[in-house]
Amino acid sequence: MDTQADGVGHASQDDFELPGVPDAFARLWTPHRLAYIKGGQDQIKGTEDCPFCAAPGRSDEESLIVYRGEFVFAILNLFPYNPGHLLVCPYRHIPDYTDLTVQETAEFAAVSQTAMRVLREVSNPGGFNLGMNQGAEGGAGIAAHLHQHVVPRWGGDANFLPIIAQTKAVTQTLGDARTQIAAAWPTDGSSH
C-alpha cells in the first residue's frame, strides 16, 4: 500500500487479490451453492408434485406432521438446519404471505408462536430464526407453497462442516424429533 505525505493510504494494483483469495474479511466461498441460487433445483409448480399438499393426506408419522390446525399445519423440515426445524404451512397451495386470509394469518401466527413455546420446552434453544423465503429468487426451495421456517438455535450450533465438507451434523432423528414435539404440543388445539 502506498502512503502519501497526508497519511492517507492508497492501494496500488499490486495490493488487490482475486476473488476467492482470503482477505481481511475472511470470506467463506461456497461456489457449490450457485446451482441453488440460479434455480438449479427443480421448482414445484402445482399441487400434483407439492410435498406440502401431499403431507396432510398421509399419517402424521409418515409426513412428520406435529400439529394439524383448521387452516395450517406444522411439519418437520425434511432437510433440517437444526434438530426440531419446523415449517408452518397453510393447507391451501398459495405462494405468497399476502395470499393468506385473515383467519389463516391468525392461525399461521398462533401456530408459529406455539412452535416456539413447544421447542423451548422440548429442547431449550437459546434463540430462533423465523422466516419465509418468498419466491425462488428470494431463496424459497418450494416457492409455490407458502411456508414459514421455525429454526431453534443454540450457541455454537454453527460450524464449518456444511461449508467445507458439505455435511450437516443433526443430533436427532426426524422420527424422534416428531414424537417429542407432537407429544409436547397442546392437546386442546390452543396456542398456549
Distance between CA atoms of 2 and 90, rounded to whole angstroms?
A: 59
Give the Cα separation of 33 and 45 in Å (integer). Answer: 22
> Look-up: residue for cell 404440543?
185
Q: What is the amino acid identity at position 129?
A: N
Task: Report which of 29, 94, 98, 104 is spatially closest to residue 71, judged by C-alpha positions.
Answer: 104
What letter does residue 22 receive in the DSSP assignment? -
User: Are the C-beta atoms of residues 128 and 116 closer than 8 Å to each other?
Assistant: yes
Does residue 147 carry a catalytic annotation?
yes
Which of 85, 145, 147, 149 is catalytic? The answer is 147
23 three-state secondary structure: coil
Catalytic residues: 147
